[in-house]
Amino acid sequence: VARRTRCGGEAPVLLCSGALIAPEVVLTAAHCLAVFGEAGPYEVFLGPTLLPEPGPGGRFIRVTRAVTHPDYVPATHAWDAALLRLAVPVTDVSPYRLPGAGDVPVAPGDPVRAVGYGDTKDPDRLAGRRRQGVLQVTGVTSGAFQAGPAPAMTCVGDSGGPVLGGPPGNEVLQGLTVSGDVACRTEAVQVRVDALGDFLRPFLAEPPPPRPPPPLPLDALCEAPCDGDADCPSGLLCVSAGGAPARCLLPALQAGTYGAACTEDAACGTQGVCARLEVDGDDACRCFTPCEATVDPTTPGMDPPDASCGCGGGPGGPGTTLAVLLGLLWRHPRRGLRVKAPTEP
């Protein structure tokens, strides 16, 4: 999903599905990174229900690094694969098993199980819930395989999701959903995971990521140095202006100040918003008030902004605030599990 920038009232935006292949590594489709690129602001959601709002037991983890396959061809979906490094390892979910030397590749006629959060083409069964369904392999090439409905079919939002083959209890991650017909009725295309070894092995061999940095104090929001968005806390972006060193800044409609912890906009006065600085935690969300806003002095934790309001280091030099968007709805065209007769895990 795209990183969330507000707390309360902001529905997560599903970009794609993915497959956990190591405690801190997710495999997904390369085209899922098309809008924001490898340095974009991403989070991974783990849980059965993402939309219309995250269900019990679900959680978000920040992505610190994203890498696309070096031979990826957008026009044909050849080598349409990407790897995501998580800020913290997942210890309560078992990663999917990757193909090994003793595993038999898929062949025409084989049943495979696709999993994803995508569209179902049923108005009563909306995207955003993890579903699974069976497809049948119809063709195999050196780097991909095709499958048809048996009776399920993948659809928009399922891109990057796992496609599993083999006997129950010993399934292997055979493919990754990357494309299909527009109507989600006849054909799904999967990248073969057993063909991705040279891409996967070096990334998986990298040492675990360092512990994530502690939350920034409010007066340091515009002072933390960075090389990319992944270096910044969840709600901040890495911005450089006028040749100055890059800093972690909070996306905002305008200059403003950050105040008390909050869970919803209503706690931040009539013109304030509850802005997300971290994925979770007691201090994940703070009230953000525009500099020119009229602040109700009776609002707990909120002080009227003064002449020094706002972050420095923006495009106009010291004392000027960077103006970017808060709460932007990310839009992403993607292919993805239309499930005609699903079985939900």
pLDDT digits (tens, 9 = 90+) for 42-69: 889 999 988 888 888 888 888 889 999 9
pLDDT of residue 345: 38
The pLDDT tens digits for 263-305 are 888 888 877 788 877 777 777 788 877 765 544 555 555 444 4
Phi, psi dihedral angles at 33 (to 5 degrees): -100, 10
Q: Give me 76's structure tokens.
A: 């044909």
Q: How far is CA 309 from CA 220, 251, 254, 312, in A?
A: 14, 16, 11, 9
pLDDT of residue 296: 52
Q: Give me 118's structure tokens.
A: 């995508």
Q: What is the pTM of this model?
A: 0.73
- How far, in whole angstroms, is CA 270 from its chain's centroid? 31
CA proximity to 269, closest of 221, 244, 302 = 302
Q: Spelled out in words, what is the top-level CATH class assigned to the domain 19-95+201-205? A: mainly beta
pLDDT of residue 193: 98
Residues facing residue 112 across a β-bridge:
135
- Can you say whether residue 35 is alpha, beta or left, with left for phi > 0 and alpha for psi between -120 and 50 degrees? alpha
Can you list the residues of the chain whose pLDDT is less than 70? 1-3, 9-10, 209-224, 230, 233-236, 241-242, 249-256, 291-345
